[in-house]
Chains A and B, each alone.
Chain A
Amino acid sequence: MSKNKKRLSLVLTSMMALSLALTACGGGSTNNENASGNGGKSEKPVELIWYTIGPPQKDMNMVVDEVNKYIQPKINATLKMNMIDFGDYTQKMQVKVASGEPMDIMFTSSWAFDYVQNARKGAFMELDDLLEKYGKGIKDTIDPAFLEGSKVDGHNYAVPANKELPAQEVWRFNKDLVDKYKLNIDKVDSLESLEPLLKTIKENEPNITPYAMIKDYMPVLPFDYIIEKMPMAVYMDTKDYKVVNILETPELKKSLETVRKYYKAGYISPEVATTTSVDDLYKSSNWFMDRATSQPMADNLWSASYGYPVVSKPASKPYIYNWSVMGSMQAISANSPNPEKAMEFLNLLNTDPVLRNMIDSGIEGVHYEKVGENRMKNLPESKNYDMPTFSLGNIMLNYLNEEDPDDKWEIFKKFNASGVNAPLLGFNFDTSKVSSEIAAVQNVKEEFWAPLMTGTVDPDEYLAKANQKFKAAGLDKIIAEAQSQIDAWKAANNK
C-alpha cells in the first residue's frame, strides 16, 4: 500500500517537473523564426522588428496594423513595433544587443543607448552604401549637417531625425514677476548682469526662489566639451584645438565665484546640490528665473504647459554640437537579416507624410482628425496613442497642431541655418584606451561637480581640491589621449 503510494507520488512529481520543463521550452519559440526564416524570398513580406523609445501605448497594435496595410504594398515589408520606456531603454537595449537578439531597427541617440559607443562596439550596421542605394529620399530631405555631423570615424551608422539642429541656452523668466517689478530683461547678457533682478525679487518676494537651479547646473562657458560634463574641452573659438582642463581656466573661476555669491545671498536654494527637479516650483509658480535649452517657439510650449507666461532671453549662440546632432536617430542592427528593407522603411518614414503622421499620431478619425490641409486636431482617443514625436524621424513632415503658426517648420529651418558649428563637431572621442581612468574620473566628478557648480562650496578652496583629485584619478592621461586623437582628426580633416 505505502509502496504504491510512494510510486504514485514519484510519478506525479516527475510529471510535474517534466511538464514545467516542456512548457518552458515551448513558450516563446515563435519569436525567433520570423527573423531568420524569410530573409531572401521576395514574395513573402519581410517583418521588420523595431525597438524605439517611449512609454508603451495601448493602441499600438491597432495603429501598427494600419501602418502595415499602408507600407506593405509600397516596400513589401511589415512592422513589429516595440516601445521601451525612457528610463529602461538604455539598459534593456544593451542586454538585447549584447545577447544578439534579432532586431532590425532601433532608436539611438547621444542621451539614451549611446550612439557613438555602440557604433564603435559594433551594434549597428554601417549605412554608407545603403543610404546611397535605398535612402536617396533621406539624403534629399534632411539638413545635410545631420548626416555629416553624425559620422563616426567617417561612416554613418544611423539616420538622424530632421529636427532642431543647434542647441541654444536661454535664461527663462516668470513673466508675471518681470511685469510686476517692471524689470528690464533686455539688458541681460551674462550671469553677472542678472544680479540686480535677483536682488529685487529676493527683497520683495520672500516665498519665491529667485534662481531655480538643479544639481546638474553648469554655467554657460565658451567651451566645447570632449565628453559632456567632464572638465576637458577646447575653446569655442579655438584655432589650435588644444584641450584644456576647464578647472584651470579663468572663465570657470569667474563664473563659480558669481554663483557662489548668489548662493550666499540666498538667490539659490540651499539644497541645490542634491535637487534633481524643481518641478514643484514650476507648478506653484514660485520661481523667478532659470536656465534651459531652447528650441524654436519654446516660450509658447512652456507657457502652455505651466499655465502662466514664460519669456526667455538667449544666453549663448545657437551652437551645433555632436550631442545636438545626435539627439534622435534610428539605426539598423548589425544582425538585421533585411538591412535593405529596413533602409527602405526608414526612407519612407523620413519622406512620406502619411506614414510619418500615422506612426506619430495614430489613425485619422480615431486618434486625430484633419482640420486643414496639413493641420490636425487630437481626438480624445489620442491618449491611447501618444508618442514622443521627436524620436520618430523627420519631424518636419508632421501636421501642425491647431495653435501652431503656419510657418512653424520655416522657423525651424531658419533656426537650423543660424546654427554655428562647434569646433569639435564630427569628432568623437574613443574612450576604449582610457576606460579605467574614465570610471575613476566619473566618480570624482560625482563627488565635486554639483557642489562646485551650484555655489554650495567655496570655489577658492574646493576648485584646487577637485582639480587635484581629478588629476590623481587620471584626468591628465585622458586629456593626453584626447589631444592625440584630436590632432589626428584635425590632420585628417584639414581643420
Chain B
Amino acid sequence: MRMAREFFGNINKNKVMLFMVLPGTLWFLFFSYLPMLGTVIAFKEYRFSRDGFWASIVNSKWVGLDNFKFLFTTNDAYIITRNTLLYNAAFIIVGLVLSVLMAVVLSEIVNKKLAKFYQTGMFLPYFLSWVVVGYFAFSFLSSERGMLNQIMGFFGAESVQWYSEKKYWPLILILVYLWKAVGYNSVVYLAAIMGIDKSLYEAAMIDGASKLQQIRSITLPLLRPILTIMTLLAVGKIFYADFGLFYQVPRNSGTLYSVTNVIDTYVYQGLKSTGEIGMSTAAGLYQSLVGFTLVMFSNYIVRKYDKDSALF
C-alpha cells in the first residue's frame, strides 16, 4: 500500500515530464517494440498460413539456431566480420576527426557568406543515391575511359584495372564514405560550436589566448559530450554496413570480394535466391546483439570516467 502510494506520488511529481515522453513512447511502442515480437521468426522455418501472420508464425516449425548457421559455417564468416568491423572502425575514427575539423574550420572562417557557401556544397553528396555515386566512381575509375587512368596516362604512368585490384579498395571505400558523410556529420558539431557561450571566448581573449589556443582549450573540451554520444551511437551500429557503399561503388566485382564483402552484402547475396525471411531476421538479430554488447561495454567505460556523457 505504501509502495503504491509512493509510486503514484512519484508519477504525480513527474507528470509533466511523463506527459512529454508520452507521444514518443507510444511511437516506440507501435513502431519498435510491437514489431520486435516478430523476431521469433529467426528461430522458425517460416511458412505462410492463410489465416495471417500470427497463424503463420505459430504453424511454422521451430528450427533452433539453424537460421544462424549460414553466417558462421564458411571461411567467409571471418572475412565479412573482419571487413565490417574494420571499415566501420575506420569510418568512426577518421569520420569523427574530419567532421570536427571541418566544423571548427567552418565556424572560424571570417567571411560568413563564404562559409555558408562551402557548407551548402559539402552537403550535396548526401543527396546522391549510392547508385548515382557508383556511376561517378566508375566514370573516374573505369580502366578504358576513366579520368584517373587518363590523368595517369598523361603523366606516363601505367593504367590500372581498378575494379580488379584489391589493394586500392580499402582506401577508395574510406574516401568515398568520407566524401559522402563528412559534410552531413559536421553539421552536428557546427551546431554544438554555435551553442557555446560566447563569453568564454571573450574571457580567453582578454587573457591573451591565441585563436588556436582557444580552439584547443575551449571549443574541443566543450564538444566532448556530443563527441562521446556520437561515438557511442556509432559503436552500436558497428556491425551494420552501408549496403549501397559496399555493393554499388565496387560494382559488385567478384575479384574484390575479399576486401568488399561485408555482412549486409553477404546476407543479400546469400538470401536473394531463397528469400527465407527467417534467415534474414536471424542475421539482423545477430547484428543487433553484437552492437548491443559493444555499446553496453563502451557505455560502462564512459560512465566510469564521465557520468554525464554516458548514454544512461
Contact = CB atoms under 8 A, between A and B. Distances in A.
Judged by CB atoms under 8 Å, the answer to whether A and B touch is yes
Interface of A: 10, 13-14, 17, 20-21, 90, 94, 97-100, 114, 117, 121-123, 227, 269-271, 273-274, 276, 334-335, 431-432, 435-440, 442-444, 446-451, 456-457, 472-474
B45 interface: yes
Interface of B: 16, 19, 22-23, 26, 45-53, 55-56, 66, 69-70, 73-76, 142-144, 161, 163-164, 251-255, 257, 261, 266-267, 269-277, 279
A270 B48 contact: no
Contact of B274 (A17, A269, A435, A450): A435
A272 to B, nearest CB: 10
B57 to A, nearest CB: 10
A285 B275 CA distance: 39
Contacts of A474: 73-74
A211 to B, nearest CB: 15
B257 A122 contact: no
B272 to A, nearest CB: 7
A273 B26 contact: no
Contacts of B52: 99-100, 335
B270 A440 contact: yes
9 contacts: A99-B52, A273-B164, A436-B70, A439-B271, A443-B261, A444-B76, A446-B252, A446-B269, A448-B254
A456 B164 CA distance: 9
Contacts of A94: 275, 277
A315 B151 CA distance: 42
A121 B266 CA distance: 23
B144 A270 contact: yes
A140 to B, nearest CB: 30
A273 B270 contact: no
B267 to A, nearest CB: 8
A473 B72 CA distance: 11
Contacts of A457: 255
B46 to A, nearest CB: 7
Given A274-B251, A446-B269, A447-B261, 12 more contacts: A90-B275, A99-B53, A122-B49, A227-B273, A270-B144, A271-B144, A271-B161, A273-B253, A439-B269, A442-B273, A451-B164, A472-B75
A13 B19 contact: yes
B143 A271 contact: yes
A122 B267 CA distance: 24
A270 B16 CA distance: 67
Contacts of B26: 17, 21
B60 to A, nearest CB: 10
Interface SS of chain A: helix
- In the A-B complex, the 9 residue pairs with the closest CB atoms: A439-B270, A100-B52, A436-B70, A274-B251, A439-B70, A122-B48, A447-B257, A335-B50, A436-B69
B275 A446 contact: no
B305 to A, nearest CB: 38
Nearest to A276: B251
Contacts of B143: 270-271
Contacts of B251: 274, 276
Contacts of A431: 274
A473 B271 CA distance: 15
A140 B103 CA distance: 73
B47 A446 contact: no
B274 A439 contact: yes
Nearest to B267: A439
A28 to B, nearest CB: 15
B107 to A, nearest CB: 35
Given A98-B277, A100-B53, A17 B23 contact: yes
A334 B48 contact: yes
Contacts of A20: 23
B189 to A, nearest CB: 31
Contacts of A444: 76
Contacts of A114: 273, 275
A80 to B, nearest CB: 20
Contacts of A269: 144
Contacts of B272: 442
A14 B18 CA distance: 12
A436 B255 contact: no
A437 B70 CA distance: 7
A270 B56 contact: no
B292 to A, nearest CB: 24
Contacts of B23: 17, 20
B274 A117 contact: yes
Given A97-B48, A273-B253, A440 B70 contact: yes
Contacts of A10: 16, 19
A438 B273 contact: yes
A473 B266 CA distance: 13
A305 B275 CA distance: 35
Contact of B74 (A273, A448, A456, A472): A472
B73 A98 contact: no
Given A97-B48, A98-B46, A457-B255, A442 B144 contact: no
Nearest to A334: B50
A449 B70 CA distance: 20
Most buried by B among A17, A97, A269, A273: A273
A34 B267 CA distance: 38
B49 A442 contact: no
A15 to B, nearest CB: 12
Contacts of B274: 117, 431, 435, 438-439
B48 A98 contact: yes
Nearest to A10: B19
A197 B76 CA distance: 42
Contacts of A97: 48
A126 to B, nearest CB: 12
Contacts of A99: 52-53
A184 to B, nearest CB: 30
B50 A274 contact: no
Given A97-B48, A100-B51, A270-B161, A451 B254 contact: yes
Contacts of B163: 271, 273-274
B66 A436 contact: yes
Nearest to A18: B23
B311 to A, nearest CB: 26
A494 to B, nearest CB: 30
B266 A443 contact: yes
A457 B273 CA distance: 26
B142 A123 contact: no
A331 B276 CA distance: 20
A449 to B, nearest CB: 7
